Structure 1
Amino acid sequence: MRTSFRLLFVCAAATLLTACGEGGPASAGTAGGDTTGPPPQSPYGATGAQNVRVVPVEIEVIGLPEGWNGMRIAALSDFHLSMWPDNANVARAAVERAIAEKPDVFVLLGDYVGSRRGDFTALDRVLAPLRGRTVFAVLGNEDMLEDPDEPDSLAILTRAALARNGVQLLYNARARFIRNNDTAFIAGVDPYIARRPDWRRAEMYGGIPGGGSTPVLLAHMPVAALTVPTDKYPSVISGHTFCGQIEVPGTPRLTWVNTELFPQEANAASNRIYRVRGSTLFVTCGLGFSFVPVRFGSPPEVAMITLRTVGGVQRDTAAAKGGVNVDSLIQQFTPDSARTEEDTTADEG
């Protein structure tokens, strides 16, 4: 992600769009934009904040606890507050739309500010309406350095911002959640887990306490689904990926996910629900503008995910043997249908 592609597209977009009334990339003093001021002019007739949509999604989860059947999760990802001034307005609008849906849980999937020079007060303004609610989060690749042993001021500042707004960060950890008298867990992992050596992955997953069901795993990057211990986490929710009819080269693209990461996906243009190593993976397209302040054919989205119970002992066994896929929403993937773990070291991050 931190490549010359970013500089090229940011500079080009700033040059082209300034004449149209769009603000350029956020500077150190204006990293989040002003969520209280008037929205910037847009050459497209509506601002990003006005285009935020709620996308309903149902994912069927094998072995979901009975009390969690019908549980609703609002997933928000990729704020990118330091990239463009309007991103804070988009993120705040998305938070408000999510609250209006009255979900059971909110999950934040990473890439919040993404710059040491960023204005973390913008993140405070975005997250303020979520205070006092049940919110879990993971870090994205733009929120921390890949080497956990390096001094990382960005990760420290991001963790502090999440904590003071009441957000529970799941960094190779899990949290208990009770619904309809059924207790289970939501877990979250390091955004770089797919690049870690096998021993480190085992250590990280092993660090998540055992005992009790963990129906949901949060991971910023979809490639993490290839590292999940088989049958341990029946569903994975991720972000990081930009969708749309036109995808900017160098970005984490949906087409790349469908053609390179999960090459047997039948509908490479739009399908964002997968069956990977025994888990159901859903990928949200996120919120913020990244390399350029335009989302071609993919408005900022709040993913409203409803969990549904599916499968029993007999049907699970049949699916594992390559029988008829009992899940009406996902396709059956085997480990051989995706890239090898060695290939994941060069993922889209």
Structure 2
Amino acid sequence: MKSIAQKLKYTALGIANAIILLVIWSFIEPRMLNVENETAEIPNLPASWSGKQIAQLTDFQIGLWGDNRGTARRSVAKIVEAKPAIALISGDFLYHPGENITPEIETAVDIVRPLVEAGIPTYAVLGNHDYGMSSKKATPKTQEAERLEIKLEAAGIKVLENEVVQLPLSGSNEPLYLVGVGSLWASRDNVDKALDSVPDSSPRIVMIHNPDTFEQFPVNSAPLAVAGHTHGGQVRVPGLPQWSWLRFTQKDKVYADGWAKGFGEPSNRLYVNRGIGMSIAPIRLFCRPELTFFTLQPEEVS
């Protein structure tokens, strides 16, 4: 019979090998893109928009050592192949702008440029990392964020900050609005201003970076809101998105990804995308990068 010491030794070796495998896998998983398909119901959705697809990407985090730019490019290629009506990018193109952010900006813009070249109307908001903010207490780097915005706009990406646009659809003049809100941590968010130009009871989609902004929307004002920021928790227990590094270190009120149930005002719905990139270290564990397609459907107003 094996001695207790031998059993402990083999157990310890087994645990050590499992940890090593998990560490190795955590560097592989960021390259494994998940494509999620969701149905989103919007009150008063025009008939011409029913069944149309909206694509969402978020959180490239270009500039982190070992960043996930390859997966970002593949996700954009999948959008181009799918040809949705609209593409949305909900912030954090960059990781942490330094003294020379020109190469990082050029890379981020180069990644999304194929969307415009394919004729897909593309819209974005900026996130906290685009302002160089890795914490709420950091001072926002406004000039760096403006440089990114200028380059995105020059490439044909419309960057929204507390404003509304009517989304284009070939062969239709029926209105569907996109409400884009600025960065919460950079104090550039103004939900009231963003909603001022939206006609009452009109169909709309809301794009924000930080899910916490969603709480500011009044009842019935955000039937479909999309956000990023969380990276899905980045490291989590398999099958349990609420058991993540984010949940325990930041005590987040929102699940790290998917539909945020019981959050925000009545009749508002928020979807949190896991994003492409990462923070601190280029790892993901049981939390693959995400590209989301929403198929729009009408919903009767009760």
TM superposition score category, shorter chain reference: 0.7 to 0.9
* 1:128 is the counterpart of 2:109: no
Unaligned 5+ runs, structure 2: 1-19, 238-243
Q: Which amino acid aligns with 1:237?
A: V
- Give 1:153 deviation, angstroms: 2.0
Match of 2:253 in 1: 261
Match of 1:209 in 2: 197
Hey, what's the Cα distance between the residues in 1 that align with 2:60 and 2:145?
Answer: 15
Q: Which amino acid aligns with 1:135?
A: T
- Give 1:176 deviation, angstroms: 1.2
Out of 75, 83, 88, the residue aligned to residue 107 of structure 1 is 88
Match of 1:74 in 2: 55
Hey, what's the Cα distance between the residues in 1 that align with 2:278 and 2:140?
Answer: 28
Out of 39, 51, 62, the residue aligned to residue 58 of structure 1 is 39
Contact kept, 8 Å, 1:215 with 1:233, in 2: the verdict is yes
- Give 1:311 deviation, angstroms: 2.6
- Equivalent residues in 2 for 1:308-327, closer than 5 Å: 308-312=297-301, 316=302
Contact kept, 8 Å, 1:186 with 1:216, in 2: the verdict is yes
Unaligned 5+ runs, structure 1: 1-19, 21-41, 263-267, 317-349
Higher relative contact order (Cα pairs below 8 Å, separated by 6+ residues): 2
Match of 1:190 in 2: 182
Out of 210, 214, 219, the residue aligned to residue 225 of structure 1 is 214
Contact kept, 8 Å, 1:61 with 1:215, in 2: the verdict is yes
- Give 1:154 deviation, angstroms: 1.6
* 1:282 is the counterpart of 2:263: no
- The 1:203/1:233 distance shift into structure 2, 3 A limit, reads closer
TM-score scaled to structure 2, two decimals?
A: 0.74
Hey, what's the Cα distance between the residues in 2 that align with 1:85 and 1:75?
Answer: 23
- Equivalent residues in 2 for 1:1-349, closer than 5 Å: 43-44=24-25, 47=28, 50-117=31-98, 118=101, 119-132=104-117, 133-144=120-131, 152-179=142-169, 181=172, 182-192=174-184, 201=190, 204-205=193-194, 208-211=196-199, 213-243=202-232, 246-247=235-236, 253=246, 260-261=252-253, 271-274=258-261, 276-277=264-265, 278-312=267-301, 316=302
What percentage of residue pairs aligned between the two structures are identical?
23
2:130 is paired with a residue of what secondary structure?
coil
- Give 1:285 deviation, angstroms: 0.5
- Give 1:59 deviation, angstroms: 2.0
Hey, what's the Cα distance between the residues in 2 that align with 1:116 and 1:50?
Answer: 23
Hey, what's the Cα distance between the residues in 1 that align with 2:108 and 2:186?
Answer: 27
**Structure with larger Rg:** 2
2:92 is paired with a residue of what secondary structure?
coil
Contact kept, 8 Å, 1:78 with 1:240, in 2: the verdict is yes
Hey, what's the Cα distance between the residues in 2 that align with 1:136 and 1:73?
Answer: 11
- Give 1:193 deviation, angstroms: 7.6
Hey, what's the Cα distance between the residues in 2 that align with 1:152 and 1:270?
Answer: 28
Q: Which amino acid aligns with 1:287?
A: I
Hey, what's the Cα distance between the residues in 2 that align with 1:115 and 1:269?
Answer: 22
Hey, what's the Cα distance between the residues in 2 that align with 1:298 and 1:142?
Answer: 20
1:127 is paired with a residue of what secondary structure?
helix
2:37 is paired with a residue of what secondary structure?
strand
Contact kept, 8 Å, 1:139 with 1:191, in 2: the verdict is yes
- Give 1:125 deviation, angstroms: 2.2
Contact kept, 8 Å, 1:79 with 1:88, in 2: the verdict is yes
Q: Which amino acid aligns with 1:188?
A: G
Query: Whose helix proportion is higher, 1 or 2?
Result: 2
Q: Which amino acid aligns with 1:73?
A: I
Hey, what's the Cα distance between the residues in 1 that align with 2:223 and 2:58?
Answer: 21
TM-score scaled to structure 1, two decimals?
A: 0.65
- Give 1:287 deviation, angstroms: 0.5
- Give 1:205 deviation, angstroms: 3.2
Q: Deviations over 1:286-342 (max 9, x none)?
A: 001222211111111101111222233xxx2xxxxxxxxxxxxxxxxxxxxxxxxxx
- The 1:235/1:255 distance shift into structure 2, 3 A limit, reads farther
Hey, what's the Cα distance between the residues in 1 that align with 2:24 and 2:35?
Answer: 23
- The 1:203/1:167 distance shift into structure 2, 3 A limit, reads same
- Give 1:49 deviation, angstroms: 6.7
2:269 is paired with a residue of what secondary structure?
strand
Hey, what's the Cα distance between the residues in 2 that align with 1:108 and 1:205?
Answer: 18
- Give 1:107 deviation, angstroms: 0.3
